[in-house]
């Protein structure tokens, strides 16, 4: 991986990554099995009643985690829209501007939920634990990237992807993606996601 912040080239699919997240076996194995992002059967994905954006913009759930947490597009448009993560614990925050950026985050740091609020040393321990539990993690990632038309060598570094996640949580995208709707029932420690406001 080159450590670049530059977007990876996803033009081979002309903005149609979502169907591949639900239909290509190599991609499903990585995203649903490793990154805990299941985009199969999008019609079955429903947000908790009352969860919405403070701005009134549309929230469209397109994937879920095994826990039932939601990955949602913000506003109108296609895969270029901002993506927010909404947990059942009452936390929400922007993950990416566009599905392509979310794909890169999940490919290089599928443990991003466990990495939030940790020091560099703690982050290395999280990454090492993932690799210990999944000895073929890099191979799974590379096969999924290639199936999506991405060169694994062109992916950002883990640090660059996580730095981008932190920057999104504190910038104008975060303000535009404020989620409201039900009482906060929990909070991760010192991470870029914030409780949903009731």
Q: What is the pLDDT of residues 75-131, one digit of tens each?
A: 999 999 999 999 887 788 899 999 999 999 999 999 888 776 677 788 888 888 888
Q: Exposure string (b/e) for 1-33, b if CB count within 10 Å is 16 or more?
A: beeeeeebebeeeeeebbebbbebebbbebbbe
Selection from 21-30, 48-57, 163-172, 182-191 with the highest mean pLDDT:
21-30
Residue 186 DSSP label: -
Give phi and psi for 12, each to the nearest 5. Answer: -60, -25
What's the pLDDT band for 4 if we cut at 50, 70, 90? very low
Domain residue spans of the chain:
11-180
Alpha helices in the chain (DSSP H): 17-23, 25-31, 99-108, 112-115, 120-133, 137-147, 158-170, 172-176
Per DSSP bridges, beta strands 70-74 and 59-64 are antiparallel
Of the candidates 93, 101, 107, 89, the residue with the CA atom closest to the CA atom of residue 35: 107
Task: Yes or no: say if 170 and 190 are a contact pair by the CB < 8 Å rule.
Answer: no
Token look-up 């919405």 returns 52
Q: How far is CA 75 from the centre of its chain?
A: 17
Q: In whole angstroms, what is the distance from residue 121 CA to residue 31 CA? A: 26
Q: What is the mean pLDDT of residues 132-147?
A: 93
């Amino acid at each position: 991986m080159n450590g670049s912040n530059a977007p990876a080239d996803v033009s081979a699919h002309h903005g149609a990554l979502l169907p591949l997240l639900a239909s290509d076996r190599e991609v499903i194995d990585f995203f649903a099995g490793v990154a805990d992002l299941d985009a199969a059967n999008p019609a079955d994905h429903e947000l908790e009643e009352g969860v919405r954006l403070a701005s009134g913009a549309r929230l469209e759930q397109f994937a879920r985690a095994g826990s039932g947490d939601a990955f949602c597009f913000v506003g109108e448009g296609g895969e270029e829209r901002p993506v927010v993560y909404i947990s059942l614990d009452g936390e929400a925050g922007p993950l990416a501007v566009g599905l392509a950026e979310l794909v890169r985050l999940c490919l290089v740091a599928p443990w991003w939920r466990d990495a939030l609020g940790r020091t560099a040393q703690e982050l290395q321990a999280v990454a090492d634990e993932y690799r210990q539990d999944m000895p073929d993690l890099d191979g799974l990632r590379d096969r999924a990237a290639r199936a999506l038309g991405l060169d694994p060598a062109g992916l950002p570094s883990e640090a660059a992807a996580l730095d981008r996640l932190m920057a999104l949580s504190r910038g104008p995208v975060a303000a535009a993606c404020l989620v409201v709707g039900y009482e906060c029932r929990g909070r991760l420690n010192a991470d870029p996601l914030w409780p949903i406001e009731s």
